[in-house]
């Protein structure tokens, strides 16, 4: 294993006419990563993936896979395989024939094909389904055939375009775990496209958030959630309360901000970004109480607006200074009575170090 | 049967009397002539008007008629060759029109439909003029003497194949093609292992159409056949001019049997790919 990243993308742009579907994207995907591309519909995720697979030619920029320039290399010569959103399982072939296809066309000898097909089917837990036709399979099983068919080729990179979006929720959660297990087992770099943030956070080692053809942030899931850099990312991943803010002073390990709706706020100055335009706080970092909280917490007084019950947690919406803030309460006990009702005065508070600084 | 009692359901049209009568009339209209043709091929009568008893002697007679057999052979050879070539050409044309964008594509598409709409007589005349002017019409020994007919048949039947195959292509899921390439298949392997199996019903239907068109074509063949090359329809026509004998019936019955057989084979090959249409 060498130190070069498995994928290196430099200034990649794809234009359809005037419109840039992918706009000057540069990124690196480390070896053995489970890399998720996350973003709203139409932000260019599929286009980026298709350029990696070789189905679209970049308008500008270049792609290196394992250090090799991919310009001019057709899809069938790239060390990359793709799992299509529609599965694209060949309807006229059996499961075994589907999986064997990629080996057959590249001239792998028969005995080896048989061995590898058996292995791949075992890996996706489809042993015993060899003779079945795709119309005798469920959606999840077709999905596995598509996976086995790609994995059996032992690509350097496996691309998955919203592989789970056609499955129902339970099956989807099962397949999420399955994919993570598979990725550990085969040690192939996975690049998965999704617009489900939960899916990205729970499966990936790296998440890239895209919007309008640009990559806004690439981080591990935890950093992405706890330290989003821009308002878009903070808002796209989970819920967030955003307060406009201005830098007042910095120094002595402390950063002083003027925050709309809160007043002056002193934060521990860990690694302050160059520019601060807003402060964000996640709802589960907020606490709502009927009495003023203890010292050391940033407090906002308000009124309980609405309580939405979700079973394991409730969302409490608080009206404070003409704004609507949200806070999550975990329902930790069956007997817990809601201590306040709609319209009651209350205090929202959070620890200063839980505030996220947004620079754009 | 028990389930036949009660008022007819919404889709049980065939249980209404007048619908059945209509169906019966249609079938009669369509098939009575053919049935009569077949039945009278076994009629023991020269004049072929009244039933005089069963015989197969006209089959024997037809078999012994050398020029009839020759015409029959010619027809089969021409049909075979023109079907083969027009199926390949038509399929390729359909693929090209589906796959590529190129300058002048609408023109090609329009030109493709021309042989379908041009009156056969015009095509016949133009082919005759063309072949005579390049000296392909006379003085060539047997199999080669069929060349003008074969070319003429290909010219008018391959657009039909293209139309049928093109219709089938419209339902093709492009990601299957991409999946194939993604898995390492070349353009050619993708065509062979993924596209052709999918297109097979269309190709078979197109081939069947091309063959039927060729087997019974009269007008274009009439113009493009030389003095010594005669095909089955033309031979039959010349025989009928001296009165429809059971011999003609017998020969026609054989042709019907062959066509039926081929249709059955084609329909079996056309059975849709299993699993298709779902998802
Ligand atoms: N072949 C094409 N021609 C023109 N525009 C295209 C083409 N393919 C994609 N686009 C445009 O590029 C943009 C990005 O498309 P893309 O399919 O990459 O989005 P996506 O992020 O995958 O969205 P989704 O989550 O809905 O799948 C869209 O606005 C789309 O309309
Ligand atoms: Mg997409």
pLDDT tens digit sequence for A310-356: 888 888 898 888 888 898 888 887 776 666 778 888 888 888 888 88
Q: Which residues are bridge partners to A242 per DSSP?
A: A280
Confidence of residue B2 (pLDDT cuts 50, 70, 90): very low
CA A47 to ligand 1: nearest atom: 18
Which tokens is A318 given? Answer: 């608080």
- Cβ within 8 Å, pair A84-B185: no
Given a contact cutoff of 8 angstroms between Cβ atoms, the answer to whether B117 and B170 are in contact is no
- Cβ within 8 Å, pair A92-B182: no
**H or E element at residue A281:** strand A278-281
* Residue % of chain B over a pLDDT of 90: 28
Alpha carbon distance B78, B147 (integer Å)? 8
Given a contact cutoff of 8 angstroms between Cβ atoms, the answer to whether A317 and A239 are in contact is no
Given a contact cutoff of 8 angstroms between Cβ atoms, the answer to whether A116 and A103 are in contact is yes
Q: Given a cut of 50, is residue B65 above it in pLDDT?
A: yes
Distances, alpha carbon A18 to alpha carbons A11, A12, A21, A49, in Å:
17, 15, 9, 20
For chain A, the distance separating the N- and C-terminal CA atoms, rounded to the nearest angstrom, is 38
Instruction: Please compute the mean of the pLDDT values over residues A205-211 and round it to a whole number.
Output: 93
Residue A146 distance to chain B (closest CA, Å): 9
Which tokens is A156 given? Answer: 């350097």
φ and ψ of A79, to 5 deg: -80, 50
Given strand A68-69, what is the order of strands in its sheet?
A: A19-29, A7-16, A60-65, A68-69
Alpha carbon distance A238, A216 (integer Å)? 16
State pLDDT tens for residues A48-83.
999 999 999 999 999 999 888 888 889 999 999 999
Instruction: Please compute the mean of the pLDDT values over residues A296-320 and round it to a whole number.
Output: 86
Mutation pick from B173, B177, B181, B184 vs chain A, by most beta carbons of A within 10 Å, is B184
Which tokens is A59 given? Answer: 């308008």
Give the homologous superfamily in CATH for domain A7-233.
P-loop containing nucleotide triphosphate hydrolases (3.40.50.300)
State pLDDT tens for residues B167-205.
999 889 889 999 999 999 999 999 999 999 999 989 998
Alpha carbon distance B196, B67 (integer Å)? 40
Which DSSP category does B260 fall into?
H
Alpha carbon distance B167, B175 (integer Å)? 18
Cα–chain-centroid distance for residue A244? 26
With beta carbons under 8 A apart, name residues in chain B contacting A105. Answer: 180, 183-186, 189, 193
Q: Is the ipTM of this complex over 0.90?
A: no
Instruction: Please compute the mean of the pLDDT values over residues A105-116 and round it to a whole number.
Output: 92
Q: Given a cut of 60, is residue B74 above it in pLDDT?
A: yes
Average pLDDT across chain B, whole number: 84
DSSP codes of every residue in A154-174: --SEEEEESTTTTS-HHHHHH
* Residue % of chain B over a pLDDT of 70: 90
A56 CA from centroid of ligand 2 (Å): 14
Q: Where are the beta strands (DSSP E) in chain B?
A: none
Confidence of residue B85 (pLDDT cuts 50, 70, 90): very high
Helix, strand, coil share of chain B (percent; to 5): 75, 0, 25
* pLDDT for A337: 65
Instruction: Reply yes or no on domain B59-276 having CATH 3.90.1200.10.
Output: no
A18 and chain B: CB distance < 8 Å anywhere? no
**H or E element at residue A161:** strand A157-161
- For chain B, the residue count is 279
Return the closest-CA partner of residue A340 out of A313, A305, A311: A305
Confidence of residue A196 (pLDDT cuts 50, 70, 90): confident
Given a contact cutoff of 8 angstroms between Cβ atoms, the answer to whether B161 and B254 are in contact is no
Confidence of residue B116 (pLDDT cuts 50, 70, 90): confident
Pocket of ligand 1 (CB under 6 A): A 16, 21, 39, 41-47, 195
Confidence of residue A143 (pLDDT cuts 50, 70, 90): confident
Burial bucket for residue A81 (CB in 10 Å: 0-12, 13-18, 19+): buried
Which tokens is A179 given? Answer: 């994919």
Domain boundaries, chain A: 7-233, 239-358
A161 CA from centroid of ligand 2 (Å): 7
Q: Given a cut of 70, is residue B163 above it in pLDDT?
A: yes
User: Quick one: angle between helices B57-64 and B66-99, nearest 10?
Assistant: 80
Residue nearest to atom 4 of ligand 1 (CA): A16
Alpha carbon distance B190, B179 (integer Å)? 9
Report the relative pairing of strands A19-29 and A7-16 from DSSP bridges: antiparallel
- Cβ within 8 Å, pair A91-B186: no
State pLDDT tens for residues A13-53.
999 988 999 999 999 999 999 999 999 988 999 999 999 99
Given a contact cutoff of 8 angstroms between Cβ atoms, the answer to whether A45 and A37 are in contact is yes
**Range with lowest mean pLDDT among A113-127, A197-211, A300-314:** A300-314
CA A48 to ligand 1: nearest atom: 18
Q: Which residues are bridge partners to A264 per DSSP?
A: A258
* pLDDT for A271: 63
Confidence of residue B277 (pLDDT cuts 50, 70, 90): very low
Q: Given a cut of 90, is residue A193 above it in pLDDT?
A: yes
B276 and chain A: CB distance < 8 Å anywhere? yes
Which tokens is A17 given? Answer: 């006419």
* pLDDT for B139: 65
| Chain B residue whose CA is closest to A146 | B179
Q: Work out the number of other CB atoms within 10 angstroms of the CB of residue B260.
A: 10
- Cβ within 8 Å, pair A82-B197: no
Distances, alpha carbon B30 to alpha carbons A345, B14, B36, B240, in Å:
88, 19, 12, 22
* Residue % of chain A over a pLDDT of 70: 96
Residues in CB range of B127: below 8 A, 6 or more apart:
B148, B151, B152, B155, B220, B223, B224
B175 closest CB neighbour out of A88, A135, A150: A88
Alpha carbon distance B77, B215 (integer Å)? 10
φ and ψ of A163, to 5 deg: -70, -20
Mutation pick from B275, B276, B277, B278 vs chain A, by most beta carbons of A within 10 Å, is B275
Please identify among residues 66-85 of chain B the ones whose CB lies closer than 8 Å to any CB of chain A.
Answer: none
A53 closest CB neighbour out of B182, B275, B278: B182
- Cβ within 8 Å, pair A84-B175: yes
Read off the pTM: 0.78
* pLDDT for B137: 63
Instruction: Classify domain A239-358 by CATH number.
Output: 2.40.50.100
- Cβ within 8 Å, pair A76-B176: no
Three-class SS state of A310:
coil
A153 closest CB neighbour out of B180, B183, B197: B183
**Range with lowest mean pLDDT among A167-181, A241-255, B248-262:** A241-255
- Cβ within 8 Å, pair A53-B175: no
Given a contact cutoff of 8 angstroms between Cβ atoms, the answer to whether A220 and A235 are in contact is no
Residues in CB range of A43: below 8 A, 6 or more apart:
A210, A211, A212, A213
Domain boundaries, chain B: 59-276
State pLDDT tens for residues B34-60.
898 888 888 887 776 777 888 888 888
Which tokens is B204 given? Answer: 């078979």
* pLDDT for B180: 94
Residue B179 distance to chain A (closest CA, Å): 6
Burial bucket for residue A170 (CB in 10 Å: 0-12, 13-18, 19+): exposed
Which DSSP category does B226 fall into?
-
Dihedral angle at the C-alpha atoms of B15, B21, B24, B25, nearest 10 degrees?
-150
Confidence of residue B5 (pLDDT cuts 50, 70, 90): low
φ and ψ of A209, to 5 deg: -95, 125
Which tokens is B87 given? Answer: 């199926």
φ and ψ of B84, to 5 deg: -55, -55
Q: Which residues are bridge partners to A9 per DSSP?
A: A27, A63
Q: Work out the number of other CB atoms within 10 angstroms of the CB of residue A107.
A: 8
**Range with lowest mean pLDDT among A267-281, A292-306, B38-52:** A267-281
Instruction: Please compute the mean of the pLDDT values over residues B18-43 and round it to a whole number.
Output: 88
Q: What angle do CA A101, A104, A107 make, to 5 degrees?
A: 150
Q: Work out the number of other CB atoms within 10 angstroms of the CB of residue A142.
A: 22
């Amino acid at each position: 294993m060498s130190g070069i990243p498995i994928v290196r993308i430099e200034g990649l742009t794809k234009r359809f006419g005037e419109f840039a579907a992918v706009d000057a994207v540069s990124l690196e995907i480390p070896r053995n990563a489970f890399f998720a591309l996350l973003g709203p519909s139409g932000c260019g995720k599929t286009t980026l993936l298709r350029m990696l697979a070789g189905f679209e030619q970049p308008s500008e920029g270049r792609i290196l896979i394992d250090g090799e320039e991919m310009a001019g290399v057709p899809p069938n010569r790239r060390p990359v395989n793709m799992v299509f959103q529609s599965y694209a399982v060949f309807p006229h072939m059996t499961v075994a024939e589907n999986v064997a296809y990629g080996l057959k066309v590249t001239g792998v000898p028969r005995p080896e094909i048989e061995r590898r097909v058996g292995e791949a089917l075992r890996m996706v837990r489809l042993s015993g389904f060899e003779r079945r036709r795709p119309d005798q399979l469920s959606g999840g099983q077709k999905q596995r055939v598509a996976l086995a068919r790609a994995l059996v080729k032992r690509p350097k990179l496996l691309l998955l375009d919203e592989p789970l979006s056609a499955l129902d929720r339970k099956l989807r959660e099962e397949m999420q775990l399955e994919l993570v297990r598979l990725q550990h087992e085969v040690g192939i770099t996975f690049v998965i496209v999704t617009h489900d943030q939960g899916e990205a956070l729970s499966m990936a080692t790296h998440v890239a958030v895209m919007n309008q053809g640009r990559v806004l942030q690439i981080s591990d899931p935890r950093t992405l959630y706890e330290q989003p850099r821009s308002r878009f990312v903070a808002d796209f991943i989970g819920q967030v309360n955003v307060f406009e803010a201005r830098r007042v002073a910095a120094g002595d390990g402390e950063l002083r901000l003027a925050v709309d709706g809160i007043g002056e706020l002193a934060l521990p100055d860990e690694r302050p970004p160059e520019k601060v335009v807003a402060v964000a706080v996640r709802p589960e970092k907020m606490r709502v109480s009927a009495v003023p909280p203890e010292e050391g917490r940033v407090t906002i007084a308000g009124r309980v607006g609405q309580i939405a019950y979700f079973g394991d947690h409730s969302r409490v919406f608080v009206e404070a200074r003409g704004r609507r803030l949200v806070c999550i309460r975990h329902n930790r006990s069956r007997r817990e009575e809601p201590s306040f009702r709609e319209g009651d005065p209350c205090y929202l508070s959070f620890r200063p170090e839980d505030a996220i600084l947004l620079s754009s | 049967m028990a389930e036949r009692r009660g008022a007819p359901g919404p889709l049980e049209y065939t249980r209404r009397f007048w619908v059945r009568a209509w169906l019966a009339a249609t079938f009669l209209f369509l098939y009575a002539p053919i049935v009569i043709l077949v039945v009278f091929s076994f009629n023991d009568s020269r004049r072929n008007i009244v039933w005089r008893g069963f015989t197969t002697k006209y089959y024997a007679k037809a078999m012994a008629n050398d020029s009839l057999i020759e015409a029959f052979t010619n027809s089969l050879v021409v049909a075979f060759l023109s079907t083969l070539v027009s199926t390949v050409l038509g399929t390729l044309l359909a693929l090209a029109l589906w796959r590529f964008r190129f300058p002048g594509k609408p023109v090609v598409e329009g030109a493709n439909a021309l042989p379908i709409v041009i009156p056969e007589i015009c095509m016949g005349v133009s082919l005759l003029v063309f072949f005579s002017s390049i000296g392909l019409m006379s003085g060539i020994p047997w199999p080669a003497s069929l060349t003008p007919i074969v070319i003429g048949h290909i010219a008018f039947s391959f657009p039909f194949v293209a139309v049928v195959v093109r219709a089938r292509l419209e339902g093709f899921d492009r990601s299957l093609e991409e999946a194939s390439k993604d898995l390492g298949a070349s353009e050619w392997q993708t065509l062979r292992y993924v596209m052709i199996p999918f297109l097979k019903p269309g190709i078979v239907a197109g081939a069947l159409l091309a063959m039927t068109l060729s087997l019974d074509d009269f007008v274009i063949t009439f113009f493009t056949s030389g003095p010594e090359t005669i095909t089955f329809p033309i031979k039959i026509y010349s025989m009928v001019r001296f009165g429809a004998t059971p011999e003609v019936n017998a020969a026609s019955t054989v042709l019907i049997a062959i066509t039926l057989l081929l249709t059955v084979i084609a329909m079996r090959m056309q059975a849709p790919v299993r699993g298709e249409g779902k998802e």
